[in-house]
Amino acid sequence: MVRLTTDMRRRTKHEQHDPEWHLDDPRTRKWLAQCTACQRIGYRADAPDHFFGRDHLVRHFVALDLDVATGLCQYCRGLPAA
C-alpha cells in the first residue's frame, strides 16, 4: 500500500485552489480562451451564466473578449476593460 505524504497531497490539482485544473477539465476548458499576442488566458465572453465550474472560472480568470479575426484580447486591442 502506498501512503501519500502531506507534500504529495498538496501537489494534487484541485478545482477550488488551482486555476490549471480548469485547463485539464473538458467541462470548463471549452469556455477558456487565450490571446494570440499576450497569451493571457481567460473565460470566453459568450460563456453561459450557468454551467459546471462557472463560479471557479470567474474566481480564477478574467472575462476575455477575443476578436474573431485577429485573436487579440480587449487589452491588446486597447479597449477599456469590461
Q: What is the pLDDT along the chain (82 residues), one digit of tens a residue?
A: 545 444 444 555 555 567 777 777 888 888 899 999 999 999 988 888 887 778 888 888 899 999 989 999 999 998 765 5
* Terminal Cα distance for the chain, rounded: 51
Question: What pLDDT is attached to residue 33?
Answer: 92
Q: How far apart are CA 59 and CA 54, in angstroms?
A: 9
Strands 63-64 and 41-44: parallel
Which cell goes with 26? Answer: 473538458
